[in-house]
Structure 1
């Protein structure tokens, strides 16, 4: 376990990994506190803090006398109180699909903005989200250069944050900046637009150490659908 983070946090990450990978399926019970104490060779207080984090993040629910039940296995469970935009669209009856995913490694120079995060190389991912068959969002993601390009057969099911997680780059927080811009012509073409401006979003994601693990740019064709945010109170 990593000595740079609290022990209970490291234990929480191990248990969360087991939940995400199906070792503890939804509806199943986690081992008892005593069993977890013996497994990790730590105190009851440490285990309780780890379980508390999992409960706060929405992975488990704890009931006195009944144990701790797994209720979610989502990689991006409660990074914020907001619901993902794709989930909102699906609930509204829209069909959201991902197409035209492209990967390439790019070489960075010291004068490039991304150099401060990734050094000499990063992985660039470009893809388009379609709303009922119409191009709606164009994404460009920049990830650490040590991440391998996924198998071509897996592109249709490609999940960015799961892929980061599988390559030991878990997202702990992110910052979003929204703006209006005139995007490059290739992005206008991808969105089937003749001219701008369009709504844009820049996201910078960090791991638990504050290291940048994702920089992404999204452009939205709001002529098809407005961008929406829903929060649970």
Structure 2
């Protein structure tokens, strides 16, 4: 099938064609998705272009990829990929709030044995600390931990790019997020950054981010000063 360069990125054209085939039952639910060589031959494009199209379909919830196995069709209804949560920062910006971020530090961490981070990543991890300001007031403090394998992602770019964009540039697709919430007083250092007393109870969020193979890529601890603004999620 011939694609039209004037209609936009080739991988998006392929994605839309394959998505339409899935929705109309050309590829049945739970069946194997065509291989990269097959699609590259059909559309006369590179395998990288095909791979990017497949990643889009995986992200939208239609396909599932596993190392060493064929890609499977796991959803074939029009709702797939449409129900998603908007990021909290997007909701705040849509409501006219001003958000700014400041990267505080980025370093290789030597994890203490028996600590939670040691259990997740072993002896070493990448530790990144940042703070978000809401309408110029300190609002959220984040501490991110990444696998030490990601120590070369270009941490000097953290002021100009988001952490997740940098991870994506390493050809890592974050496919699953698990959040855990609690209410507790923040550590003294965090309380100082957020300009609250050490006894102030804050919303604490733990996040576990996994790639398409189920490998943990990021673990983060965030404290929100919900006295300024409640934590809010909309699902669309």
**Which bracket does the TM-score occupy, shorter chain normalised?**
0.5 to 0.7
Q: What is the CA RMSD across the aligned residues, in angstroms?
A: 3.3
Q: Is the contact between residue 174 and residue 209 of structure 2 (CA under 8 Å) also seen in structure 1?
A: yes
After TM superposition, give the deviation of residue 56 of structure 1 in Å.
7.3
Q: Which residue is 1:228 aligned to?
A: 232
The CA distance in 2 between the partners of 1:221 and 1:125, in whole Å, is 20
The CA distance in 1 between the partners of 2:162 and 2:127, in whole Å, is 15
* Alpha-carbon distance change, 80 to 191 in structure 1, aligned in 2, over 3 angstroms: farther
| Structure 2 unpaired stretches of 5+ | 1-7, 19-33, 43-49, 63-80
Q: Is the contact between residue 153 and residue 167 of structure 2 (CA under 8 Å) also seen in structure 1?
A: no
* Alpha-carbon distance change, 38 to 57 in structure 1, aligned in 2, over 3 angstroms: closer
Q: Which residue is 1:98 aligned to?
A: 101
After TM superposition, give the deviation of residue 25 of structure 1 in Å.
8.0
Q: Which residue is 1:212 aligned to?
A: 216
Per mean C-alpha deviation after superposition, the further-off stretch among 93-102 and 185-194 is: 93-102
Q: Is the contact between residue 105 and residue 128 of structure 2 (CA under 8 Å) also seen in structure 1?
A: yes
TM-score (norm 2): 0.67
After TM superposition, give the deviation of residue 194 of structure 1 in Å.
1.8
Number of equivalent positions: 183
| Alignment match of 1:203 (pick from 203, 207, 222) | 207
Correspondence list, 1:69-108, <5 A: 81-108=84-111
The answer on 1:133 being equivalent to 2:98 is no
After TM superposition, give the deviation of residue 55 of structure 1 in Å.
8.7
Q: Which residue is 2:194 aligned to?
A: 191
Write out per-residue CA displacement over residues 162-192 of structure 1, whole angstroms, 9 at most, x where no aligned residue: 1112224321101101110111011001001
The answer on 1:177 being equivalent to 2:180 is yes
| Structure 1 unpaired stretches of 5+ | 1-22, 60-77
The answer on 1:156 being equivalent to 2:159 is yes
Q: Which residue is 1:14 aligned to?
A: none
Q: Is the contact between residue 103 and residue 149 of structure 1 (CA under 8 Å) also seen in structure 2?
A: no
SS at match of 1:139: strand
| Alignment match of 1:40 (pick from 28, 37, 41) | 37
The CA distance in 1 between the partners of 2:107 and 2:206, in whole Å, is 20
* Alpha-carbon distance change, 134 to 39 in structure 1, aligned in 2, over 3 angstroms: same
TM-score (norm 1): 0.68
The CA distance in 1 between the partners of 2:160 and 2:194, in whole Å, is 21
* Alpha-carbon distance change, 214 to 158 in structure 1, aligned in 2, over 3 angstroms: same
